[in-house]
Structure 1
């Protein structure tokens, strides 16, 4: 257990409410992302210490600040009946898979705002200075009056309307709470080009998510899938026609006879089975590669671990080092394919 978490437990026991970021909390547990096993471990430690995070560390942006406090007595876990003790607890809830709008950086970066009585020139200057297409129109940090944008300014001018104050070019704005699932919010963002995000705790406007932010997020989420799909195809090409069906079945789980019987080609294997196949020296020889087997398999095993993160839809995605690993291994596969021709 990290000394930082020990200090948190000590502070909470004294009635204090220390704080940190989600990223820092993960670091205390030797992790960088909120993978299922990591989340379970942290939750267990928090429960054992009688501590809760506010907000829930799984439901916010990875760099959001969270505080630690004692679990309210009314929310403390009930005693487990004797007849139920020893039974395994549920490991997954559908809510665990929710990717919330609050997990996006843009939803947490605040907003540049003008009030309705500000001049249009001020709004234009702010949009130019920050390279924004729109601004929030607010009377205070809780009261969202609407938005002003290049589009609304252009529309008013095209109708020969005089523009003096921001209120002359205001348009209604859509605001959603930070607990809204991202995929439900997607349609609103597409339809309106942007939405403002409110904190469900205090109703403050915490950020604005635009269609551009959305497209960047989906690229961030989809690129690893595309890279992994490309690598899997490259591996199938490398292995195709090199092995008898019996050799492929041999590396499958002996306990799953039905699946072993269904294996007919390399395409029927899992990524882990590709790795087990070529880890055997006698199988590696059949590939005819003049490279080191142990190094190649170690690189491929790293890809396998990244693939597991991606396929389990880790809300924090993968880091740049993992991207580099996928790109590097894909380039290696391309080079091996070129040498074989």
Structure 2
């Protein structure tokens, strides 16, 4: 076991509560993202060591610290636990088990923007200070605070402009202050999206210690969702390209042969390529006789190796965790899509 993990285990055993970043925890297990298999392995190792993290390492920003505690220690604050929608007949919603958290929701605190240092001004500061800070940091707004937990409002170019348009004299920040919208870092990212779009920005308050930990803007959300959606779009394109390659080449018997024999009912229902799973596409290409029928002047083994990498990446992306997708993963998808496009053109 990695030395750093052994050190954490020792610290907890001696009554301390060490903290490490989620990224460091992942590094101990040779990972860079919270992929499904990686999460399962880390949870198993933590449980075997009698440890847990607070907050759960799947529900916070990748560079945020988590505290290691004994497994029987107090669980994270209730408001940090996602809620599972009740099934018909249930009395109501119930808190999620930590191991289920990542499969159910994405919390505001997972965003980098929710964990950035908040640049603020005091209500009694001269208006010039706010203007200078917004220009220096290229911000459209600033928090107006009297302490790390005391959010009094916000000042923005919009609030300044609206006051000046009414010929108001602006001397202090309070003269141009507007009401600030805030959300909890334990709120669902998808639930607060509408608020962010309507208000253009919201401040994030930590559920644990009530500190203001960041500001999430509409721009932050658009960048986040672009990063989440692009791999899905690439995968959709790849699946459509694969279907085009095989849909007019193989008969129904060949398509069904790629299906699992342990599910005869589903196997009998398959009549076209679009009904196959990604793994079943892979089994079609792996058969030499099928490859020969396609007539590609290309290496089957190399193609199948690339396809298998895409399949693995697809399974990880479907986990839909807001950790940043590495550029290398995007390039893997783009490269394979280009290969499929070229094979399609050559075959035509």
| TM-score, length-scaled by structure 2 | 0.90
Q: What is the SS of the residue equivalent to 1:139?
A: strand
- Aligned partners of 2:226 and 2:74: how far apart in 1? 43
Aligned position for 1:28: 28
Determine the structure 2 residue equivalent to 1:67: 67
Equivalent-residue separation in structure 2 for 1:91 and 1:121 (angstroms): 47
Give the 5 Å matches for 1:317-336.
317-336=324-343
- Count the aligned residue pairs: 327
Q: Per-residue deviation at 1:121?
A: 1.2
1:253 counterpart residue number: 260
Residue 306, structure 1, aligned to residue 318, structure 2: no
In 2 relative to 1, CA 74–268 (structure 1 residues): closer, same or farther, beyond 3 Å?
Answer: closer
Query: Which residue does 2:160 correspond to in 1?
Result: 153
Root-mean-square deviation (CA, aligned residues, Å) is 1.7
For 1:286, what is the secondary structure of its paired residue? helix
Is the 2:113–2:214 Cα contact (8 Å) retained in structure 1? yes
**How far apart are residue 48 of structure 1 and its match?**
2.5
Alpha-carbon distance in structure 2 between the residues aligned to 1:243 and 1:70: 57
Gaps of 5+ in 1: 76-89
Q: The residue matched to 2:147 in structure 1 has which SS?
A: coil
Kindly state the Cα deviation for residue 49 of structure 1 after the two structures are TM-superposed. 2.0
Deviates more, 1:298-307 or 1:310-319: 310-319
SS at match of 2:260: coil
Match of 2:215, SS state, is strand
Paired with 1:192 and 1:130, the residues of 2 have a C-alpha distance of 21
For residue 248 of structure 2, what is the aligned residue in structure 1? 241
- Could you give the per-residue CA deviations for residues 139-179 of structure 1, whole angstroms, max 9, x where no partner exists? 11110001000100110011111111110000000111110
| Structure 2 equivalent of residue 231 of structure 1 | 238
Aligned to 2:345: 338
Cα distance, 1:312 vs structure 2:
2.4
Matched, 1:42 2:28: no
For the pair 1:5 / 2:5, whether they are aligned, the reply is: yes
SS, match of residue 212 in structure 1: helix
TM-score, scaled to structure 1: 0.91
Mapped partners of 2:306, 2:41: distance in 1: 28
Distance in 2 (CA, whole Å) between partners of 1:91 and 1:66 is 14
The answer (yes or no) to whether the contact 1:34–1:315 under 8 Å persists in 2 is: no
Q: Which residue of 1 aligns with 2:187?
A: 180
* 8 A Cα contact 2:122 2:173, kept in partner: yes
Is the CA contact (8 Å cut-off) linking 1:310 and 1:317 kept in structure 2? no
Name the residue aligned to 1:274: 281
Aligned partners of 2:29, 2:102: CA distance in 1, in Å?
23
Select 2:140's aligned residue among 127, 133, 142: 133
Deviation at 1:338, TM superposition (A): 2.7
Runs of 4 or more consecutive aligned structure 1 residues displaced over 6 Å after TM superposition: none
The answer to whether the Cα contact below 8 Å between 1:34 and 1:314 also exists between their aligned partners in 2 is: yes
Instruction: Give the distance between the partners of 1:4 and 1:92, measured in 2 at CA.
Output: 23
Query: Are the structure 2 counterparts of residues 206 and 236 from structure 1 closer, same or farther at C-alpha, using a change threshold of 3 Å?
Result: same
Consecutive unaligned residues of structure 2, counting only runs of 5 or more, are: 76-96
Q: Per-residue deviation at 1:196?
A: 0.4
Partner of 1:198: 205
